């Protein structure tokens, strides 16, 4: 059986898994560890991702991950931290050996029907649009239990749906 994974790679991101019928079967927060640079868990756990996604046959796992991009007014430190954590996610995916698609946010959003917002829309507006779309097209108890602040999980589910749809077409 084929499995489809969507990854929102940020610290507040998540990992979603869909079955061969496109049903959301698993949703988890991005696993984090303490890097030692601060007092909390502030780094993506490569081992945690590998533990979540390891399977006997990597050829049966398809993964889509949102491509990293910088945002206006982002500090150098913020960009560096995001890049390091993205590299940790990529390292885990490389170890797993499954096919991976790197997808721009605009591409997966359009493909799953997230409405296009006016240029300059705020991050909270974009996140609300993703949540509304997920609630509408992916009825699942896993999503109804989420809070508005769980935007990384909403988006991981939609990226997973994008992954399912893009692989099923092939």
The number of residues in the chain equals 170
Residue with tokens 């409405």: 115
∠ CA(90), CA(128), CA(33), 5° rounding? Answer: 35
Summarize the confidence of residues 23-44 as an average pLDDT: 87
Cβ neighbours for 145, distance < 8 A, ≥ 6 positions apart:
none
∠ CA(17), CA(167), CA(89), 5° rounding? Answer: 50
Using the predicted structure, report yes or no on whether residue 136 has a pLDDT greater than 90.
Answer: yes
Express each pLDDT in 102-122 by its tens digit: 999 999 999 999 998 878 788
Specify the pairing of strand 3-8 against strand 14-18: antiparallel
Rounded to two decimals, the pTM is 0.93
Residue with tokens 């398809």: 62
Indicate the range of 19-23, 107-111, 145-149 predicted with least confidence. Answer: 145-149
Express each pLDDT in 35-54 by its tens digit: 777 767 789 999 999 999 99
Look at domain 3-169 and name its CATH class.
alpha beta
159: left (phi over 0), alpha (psi -120 to 50) or beta: alpha
Reported confidence tier of residue 170, pLDDT bands at 50, 70, 90: low
Reported confidence tier of residue 168, pLDDT bands at 50, 70, 90: confident
Alpha-carbon distance of 32 to 86, in angstroms, equals 12
Using the predicted structure, report yes or no on whether residue 70 has a pLDDT greater than 80.
Answer: no
Q: Which residues sit opposite 18 in a β-bridge?
A: 4, 24
pLDDT of residue 42: 83
Say what percent of the chain tops pLDDT 90.
71
Measured between alpha carbons, how far is residue 51 from residues 14, 46, 127, 158 in Å?
Answer: 14, 9, 28, 22
Alpha-carbon distance of 89 to 121, in angstroms, equals 28
Cβ neighbours for 71, distance < 8 A, ≥ 6 positions apart:
123
The structural domains of the chain, with segments of one domain joined by +, span 3-169
pLDDT of residue 72: 72
């Amino acid at each position: 059986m084929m499995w489809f994974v969507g990854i929102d790679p940020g610290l507040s991101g998540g990992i979603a898994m869909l079955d061969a019928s496109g049903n959301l079967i698993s949703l988890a927060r991005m696993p984090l560890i303490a890097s030692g640079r601060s007092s909390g868990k502030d780094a993506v756990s490569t081992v945690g991702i590998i533990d979540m996604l390891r399977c006997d046959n990597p050829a049966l796992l398809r993964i889509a991950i949102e491509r990293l991009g910088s945002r206006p007014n982002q500090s150098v430190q913020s960009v560096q931290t995001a890049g390091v954590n993205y590299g940790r996610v990529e390292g885990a995916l490389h170890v797993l050996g499954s096919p991976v698609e790197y997808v721009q946010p605009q591409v997966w959003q359009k493909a799953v029907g997230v409405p296009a917002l006016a240029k300059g829309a705020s991050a909270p507006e974009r996140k609300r649009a993703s949540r509304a779309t997920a609630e509408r097209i992916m009825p699942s108890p896993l999503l109804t239990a989420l809070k508005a602040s769980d935007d990384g999980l909403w988006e991981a589910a939609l990226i997973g749906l994008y992954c399912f749809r893009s692989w099923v077409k092939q």
